[in-house]
Amino acid sequence: MTYSYDPTQICAGGKDQMRFELGDTYTEGGAETCALADEEYEAVLAGRKEGGKAWLRAKLAILEAILFKLSHQVDTKIDVLQYSFGDRAERWQKMYDNLRKRVLAASSVPTLPPSIAETAPYFHKGMEQNPRAMHGAGGPPVPFRSMTT
């Protein structure tokens, strides 16, 4: 397993950007300080489609993986020495809850598939005009002509 972070790549849409957005940037300690390895980030990001919603869903999946990993770590107290892993998990849980709300809100708005969005509209200018009606003869159109004379 490798643990790396390149701050010059935080706009490239890869693992470095995801690490930056999640705050998992301290990689010098390896597995002791990182939530997930590079391979885990890359595996989740490789399966996503393009677009903003896909990035949010990948981010949500990574946060779920982090929470599952942290759920096995318990708080420990030995005499005066105390390890509080629950505090670390709370931060990730809050981030997960907020992101989940954003993903659900984004997925509740319907969007048109590109094949439909690129077609010409059904309604167009001038579609109500009848070329067989006589408009210029000084009277109303043909269907109403017999009613007025």
| DSSP string covering 109-121 | S----HHHHTSPP
For the stretch 84-126, pLDDT in tens is 766 677 788 888 888 888 888 877 767 777 777 778 777 877 7
For the stretch 64-90, pLDDT in tens is 888 888 776 667 778 887 777 666 777
Residue 78 phi, psi dihedral angles, 5° rounding: -125, 105
Please tell me the pTM assigned to this model: 0.60
Q: Rounded to whole angstroms, what are the CA distances from 6 to 3, 45, 57, 95?
A: 11, 17, 23, 23
